[in-house]
Amino acid sequence: MIILKIIELIKGLFNGSRDDKDKTLSFEVKCNKCKKINEIKVLKTYDIATVYEDSQPGNYKLKKYIVCPDCYNKIHLEIFFDKRYQIITSECNNGDLL
């Protein structure tokens, strides 16, 4: 009976965390080499860093290397966001941010 309760508890935890879409951002990046469109999901808490330097634009910054699953092209993505996670400026090497 105790085990059952633990399972219920774990289920509750997973259901709870599935709701908050706010924690993730998703982008589509087109590979320059094979033209495949790759969907990228990032966690705000894990992948996005706060910007402290005044010389850099925006409040948050994402830096990510993506390897295209079709052609192994290495795509380098760098995006600056404002407080609301709206893109201010972006740079994408070997690919295009859509």
| Residue 45, helix vs strand vs coil | helix
Q: Does 70 bind Zn ion (CB under 5 A)?
A: yes
**Min dist. Cβ of residue 65 to Zn ion (A):** 14
Interactions with Zn ion, residue window 10-69 (CB under 5 A): 31, 33-34, 36, 68
**Min dist. Cβ of residue 62 to Zn ion (A):** 20
Strand 37-43 relative to strand 74-81, pairing: unpaired
- Of 38, 39, 59, 37, the C-alpha closest to 48 is 59
Q: Tell which one of 71, 76, 88, 98 touches Zn ion (CB under 5 A).
A: 71
The answer to whether 45 and 85 have CB atoms below 8 angstroms apart is no
* Residues near Zn ion, by CB under 5 A: 31, 33-34, 36, 68, 70-71, 73
